[in-house]
Amino acid sequence: MQSDSSTGSSNASGASSGSSITSGSSTSTSSGSSTGAQSKGKGSSKGSSGTSSNSGSSSTSGSASSAASSGSNNAASGSAASGSNNASSGSAATANNSTGTATTGNTKGSGASTAVGALSSDDITAPATENNSDPQSSLTLDPRVIATGFMNNGQDVQEAGQVSSLTSNNNFINYCLTQGSLPITNGQQITTGSCNPAPIGTIPSVSNMPSAKFAFPTNMGTVSANTEFTIKLNMNNLETGHFVNANENYFAAPQQLSPQGQIIGHTHVVIEAINGLADTTASNPQQFAFFKGINTAAVNGQVTADVTAGVPAGTYRICTINSSSNHQPVIVPIAQHGSLDDCVYFTATDGGSATASGSTADAGATDSASAAAASATTSGKKGNKGKNN
Q: What is the DSSP string of 204-217?
A: --GGG--EEEEEES
Tell me: the pLDDT tens digits for 291-323? 999 999 999 999 999 999 999 999 999 999 999
| pLDDT over 90 percentage in the chain | 58
Q: What is the pLDDT of residue 348?
A: 98
Query: What is the distance between the alpha carbons of residues 136 and 116, in angstroms, rounded to a whole number?
Result: 8
Nearest to 95 by CA among 58, 65, 64: 58
pLDDT band at 372 (very low <50, low <70, confident <90, very high): low
Asked whether 130 and 152 are in contact (CB, 8 A), the reply is no
Q: What is the pLDDT of residue 356?
A: 53
- Whether the pLDDT of residue 239 is over 70: the answer is yes
Tell me: the pLDDT tens digits for 24-37? 444 443 333 333 33
- Whether the pLDDT of residue 101 is over 60: the answer is no
Query: What is the distance between the alpha carbons of residues 5 and 265, in angstroms, rounded to a whole number?
Result: 20
- Whether the pLDDT of residue 363 is over 50: the answer is no
Output the CA–CA distances (angstroms, integers) from residue 360 to 87, 130, 273, 316, in the order listed: 56, 63, 12, 10
Stated length of the chain: 389
Peptide bond into 217 cis (omega under 30): yes
| pLDDT over 70 percentage in the chain | 61
Please, what is the average pLDDT of the chain? 75
Q: What is the pLDDT of residue 33?
A: 38
Q: What is the pLDDT of residue 249?
A: 98
pLDDT band at 354 (very low <50, low <70, confident <90, very high): confident
Tell me: the pLDDT tens digits for 212-236? 999 999 999 999 999 999 999 999 9
Q: What is the pLDDT of residue 371?
A: 54
Long-range CB contact pairs, 49-52, < 8 A, 24+: 49/14, 49/16, 49/17, 49/18, 49/186, 49/188, 50/16, 50/17, 50/18, 50/184, 50/186, 50/187, 51/127, 52/17, 52/18, 52/127, 52/184
Output the CA–CA distances (angstroms, integers) from residue 371 to 131, 289, 312, 375, in the order listed: 57, 9, 9, 6
pLDDT band at 94 (very low <50, low <70, confident <90, very high): very low
Asked whether 131 and 47 are in contact (CB, 8 A), the reply is no
Element (H, E) at 318: strand 314-324
Residues in contact with 25: Cβ distance below 8 Å, sequence separation at least 6, in sequence order: 32, 178
Q: Which residue has the higher pLDDT, 157 or 355?
A: 157
Q: Beta strand 229-236 with 302-307: parallel, antiparallel or unpaired? A: antiparallel
Query: What is the distance between the alpha carbons of residues 324 and 249, in angstroms, rounded to a whole number?
Result: 12
Tell me: the pLDDT tens digits for 255-284? 999 999 999 999 999 999 999 999 999 999
- Burial code (b: 16+ CB inside 10 Å, e: under 16) for 281-317 equals eeeeeebbbbbbbbbeebeeeebebebeebbbbbbbb
Query: What is the distance between the alpha carbons of residues 269 and 145, in angstroms, rounded to a whole number?
Result: 36
Question: Could you state, in order of their start, the residue ranges of all structural domains in the chain?
Answer: 22-182, 206-382
206-382 maps to which CATH number? Answer: 2.60.40.10
